[in-house]
Amino acid sequence: MNRFVIVTLLCLSLVLAPGSSLANPGGNGDADRDYSCGGSCHGDPSLSMPSDANIEISLGNEAFSGQAVSVDVTVSDVSSPSNIIGIFLLSSLNGNSDTPEDHGWHMIQDPNGGSSNYIETKMPSSGTITETWVLLSPETLGSHNLYAEVHHGSYGGEKAYTGVSEAFEVTVNDVPEGLPGISNDWVAPSFRVSGDDSPLHISTRNTTDISVEWMIEGEWDPTSAPVQCTSDSEDGVCNDWEVRIPATMGEIEIIYRITTFNGTFSIEQPWLKMGTAPPPFEGDIWSARAHSFAFALLVISILVSLQGRLTLTIERKDTDQTELVNNSSLIRSEDNPGWLWNPETEEWVEDYEYREGAE
Amino acid sequence: MVSSATLHTAMAEIVVGSMVLATICAVGCLASRMLAPSGINNESLFITMDRASLAGSFLALLFLPIAILTGNLASEGYAESALLYNKFVYSGLALGLWSSFVIGRYRMGPGLWNYRQLAILQSSTAVLAFLMTSMASSIGGKLVRGESLFDILPFWLPSDSAAILPLWASSTLLLLGIISTIIVFRLTLPRINTMD
């Protein structure tokens, strides 16, 4: 009894132990995070080590107030082997309110298609990776700093590595009044459901027209997509658009570029990315559990009944002597009742089945 | 401390390792009885394989519920994909098959290997159980790392799409399973004796 209690307690402890887990070697997922995640393992001096990764920031195009700009972060020379790497785009290193959104930037799209300042990705075998964020520049003119930080581990898992770039100064320039661009509150969708051909909604500002060209990731020749204004226009200005981009299947990623027009202005926005997601799964966890245990019990009942059936057949075979008697070469003789003639040994043997007077 | 996903991996490794041993030994027992006795194929080897298959399957059966429980915790209460749903189903099939293997061997004893039909049934159960267990494990690999050793095989049991049952249907099936198990055990209890 004591042993049973000990084993039960041990099993329960093992099952309940994960509840207080601390380590996250597989990362924490994309999210808006401050510098060093506000004191994670990577920020703890006793648990972390400085990463020797080379981190560089560059701009894909010149930054204008309220206009889209692409920010490229290149990470190279990561000597510590790590499967997953987390990359931050930050505007300060205070430990709080560090995200670009906290400093007047607006996130249009992160490298994974979402809208987070921290993303996780797999490190390629080349050891160099470039990731691109698309943001709307702050309205405030002048100098703005951007930083990139990396978090990674090693296969040994003994330390959490962290590295941060030098400050990268972005000069935000003034723009002429009425310059067309992407709306401050629009976020590019990260994916569409497989087979969904519903139109893509785009919000702009100061636009009289837009054009959208798209292509599948890896192709070189973009195709124009039909666009339609969906809001009441004043003075020819329309800021809500629907764009028809064909439905995608499987794991196809579409990249598209919006060009905004207003009079003589024609502004090409950075390329944006849109993945394909499988249709939402409608399975229920309790249904799966019941389904699982139902199959287990049904399999047990089928196989155990089969075992019982086969055992019965074998037992019958063992006890049934009819076949043996039928195949016997013993000859019953009417002249010598109660005796059988064995032609092989040429001698009479007693017939145990003979009963006197019976026919 | 470790995460439930890591603990689940550890439990799954124990289960798979034990089941590999049990399956190889179960097939070995069948082969031992099918082939003519020789210097290698002797009674001692047969007894060792029989006991190893029983021990392996018993150990795996002991850890399988823990692996399923930790897997449940790791899934955080969501059957968010067909892969995860199928992992539940394959785990259930594996549990049923391994239980049948252990029940059969325990009730009939080592003598079951002397009867060709029972020996084939027993070893087939082990092979199928191992297939179901490795499928469930491979789905785990697919979910965590996006790849599995089964990717290199020319065949693959269905896992990307799932036959989803509504809760009422699953519950009815579960009730049916419980009733049929009770009936089968009540009917076969006096019938199956240890075979010499």
ipTM rounded to 2 decimals: 0.89
Structural domain includes residue A347: no
- CATH classification at residue A224: 2.60.40.10
Q: Give a three-class secondary structure readout of chain B.
A: CCCHHHHHHHHHHHHHHHHHHHHHHHHHHHHHHHCCCCCCCCHHHHHHHHHHHHHHHHHHHHHHHHHHHHHHHHCCCCCCCHHHHHHHHHHHHHHHHHHHHHHHHHHHCHHHHHCHHHHHHHHHHHHHHHHHHHHHHHHHHHHHHCCCHHHHCCCCCCCCCCCCCCHHHHHHHHHHHHHHHHHHHHHHCCCCCCCC
Q: Do A34 and A153 belong together in one domain?
A: yes
**A311-345 CB burial, b ≥16 within 10 A, e <16:** beebeeeeeeeeeeeeeeeeeeeeeeeeebbeeee
Q: Which residues of A touch B102 (CB under 8 A)?
A: none
Structural domain includes residue A186: yes
Using CB atoms, pick whichever of B77, B85, B187 lies closest to residue A283. Answer: B85
Please check whether residue A282 touches B, CB under 8 A: yes
Which tokens in the block code for residue A26?
């597989």
Q: Residue B101 above 90 pLDDT?
A: yes
Q: Residue A6 above 90 pLDDT?
A: no
CB-CB contact of A108 with A78 (8 Å):
no
> Domain limits at A233?
178-282
Domain boundary at A282, A312, A331, which?
A282
pLDDT for A21 equals 41
**pLDDT digits over A82-120, tens only?**
668 889 999 888 888 888 989 988 888 888 888 889 988
Could you tell me which residues come within 8 angstroms of residue A327 by beta carbon, excluding any fewer than 6 positions away? Answer: none
CB-CB contact of B188 with A305 (8 Å):
yes
CA distance A215 to chain B (A): 26
User: How distant is the alpha carbon of residue A9 from its chain centre?
Assistant: 35
Percentage of chain B surpassing pLDDT 90? Answer: 30
Please check whether residue A306 touches B, CB under 8 A: yes
Q: Do A296 and B99 touch (CB under 8 A)?
A: yes
CA distance A203 to chain B (A): 32
Q: Do A69 and A171 belong together in one domain?
A: yes
Q: How many whole angstroms separate alpha carbon B167 and alpha carbon B172?
A: 8
Query: Considering its fold, how many domains does chain A have in total?
Result: 2
> Domain limits at B97?
4-147+158-164
Q: How many whole angstroms separate alpha carbon B3 and alpha carbon A116?
A: 25
Q: Do A127 and A50 belong together in one domain?
A: yes
Domain boundary at A234, A254, A282, which?
A282
Domain boundary at A150, A175, A200, which?
A175
Q: Which of A301, A40, A64 is nearest to A159 (CA)?
A: A40
Q: Do A310 and B185 touch (CB under 8 A)?
A: no
Q: Do B88 and A15 touch (CB under 8 A)?
A: no
3-state secondary structure of A355: coil
The mean pLDDT of A192-212, rounded to a whole number, is: 89
Q: Which residues of B touch A308 (CB under 8 A)?
A: 184, 187-188, 191-192
Structural domain includes residue B184: no
Q: Do A284 and B167 touch (CB under 8 A)?
A: yes
Q: How many whole angstroms separate alpha carbon A176 and alpha carbon A140?
A: 14
The mean pLDDT of A25-41, rounded to a whole number, is: 73
**Picking from A25-34, A197-206, A251-260, which range would have the lowest pLDDT averaged per residue?**
A25-34
Which tokens in the block code for residue A78?
């990561």
Please check whether residue A297 touches B, CB under 8 A: yes
**Mean of the per-residue pLDDT values of chain A:** 81
**Closest-approach residue (CA) in chain A for B167:** A287
Question: Is the model's pTM score more than 0.80?
Answer: no
Q: Do A143 and A30 belong together in one domain?
A: yes
Q: Which of A20, A129, A35, A31 is nearest to A84 (CA)?
A: A129
Structural domain includes residue B16: yes
Q: How many whole angstroms separate alpha carbon A292 and alpha carbon A271?
A: 46
Q: Do A32 and A170 belong together in one domain?
A: yes
- pLDDT band of residue A295 (cuts 50, 70, 90) is very high
Using CB atoms, pick whichever of A15, A21, A301 lies closest to residue B177. Answer: A301
Beta A48-50 vs A160-164: how paired, if at all?
parallel
**Closest-approach residue (CA) in chain B for A301:** B181
pLDDT for B77 equals 57
- pLDDT band of residue A333 (cuts 50, 70, 90) is confident
Please check whether residue A294 touches B, CB under 8 A: yes
Q: Do A295 and B4 touch (CB under 8 A)?
A: no
The mean pLDDT of B151-177, rounded to a whole number, is: 80
Please check whether residue A288 touches B, CB under 8 A: yes
Structural domain includes residue B60: yes
DSSP annotation string for A155-221? TT-S-EEEEEPPPEEEEEBP--TT--EE-TT----SEEETT--PPEEEEEES-SEEEEEEEETT-S-
Q: What angle do CA A188, A189, A194 make, to 5 degrees?
A: 150
Q: Do A37 and A62 belong together in one domain?
A: yes
Please check whether residue A325 touches B, CB under 8 A: no
Q: Residue B74 above 50 pLDDT?
A: yes
Q: How many whole angstroms separate alpha carbon A204 and alpha carbon A66?
A: 11
Q: Residue A206 above 60 pLDDT?
A: yes
Q: Do A149 and A211 belong together in one domain?
A: no
Q: Do A30 and A162 belong together in one domain?
A: yes
Helix (H) or strand (E) holding A267: strand A265-268
Structural domain includes residue B175: no
Best probe of the A interface among B142, B165, B179, by most A CBs < 10 A, is B165
Query: Considering its fold, how many domains does chain B have in total?
Result: 1
- pLDDT band of residue B191 (cuts 50, 70, 90) is low
Q: Do A200 and A222 belong together in one domain?
A: yes
Q: Which of A2, A129, A112 is nearest to A78 (CA)?
A: A129
Q: Which of B126, B128, B4 is nearest to B58 (CA)?
A: B126
Q: What single-letter DSSP state applies at residue A125? A: T
Q: Which residues of A touch B68 (CB under 8 A)?
A: 292
**pLDDT digits over A315-332, tens only?**
666 655 555 556 567 777
pLDDT for A64 equals 84
Q: Do B171 and A290 touch (CB under 8 A)?
A: yes
Please check whether residue A11 touches B, CB under 8 A: yes
Q: How many whole angstroms separate alpha carbon B190 and alpha carbon A125?
A: 64
CA distance A194 to chain B (A): 15
Structural domain includes residue A292: no
Q: Do B108 and A15 touch (CB under 8 A)?
A: no
Q: Do A74 and A214 belong together in one domain?
A: no
Q: How many whole angstroms separate alpha carbon B56 and alpha carbon B63?
A: 11
Using CB atoms, pick whichever of A11, A291, A297 lies closest to residue B170. Answer: A291
Q: Do A165 and A211 belong together in one domain?
A: no
Q: Do A159 and A239 belong together in one domain?
A: no
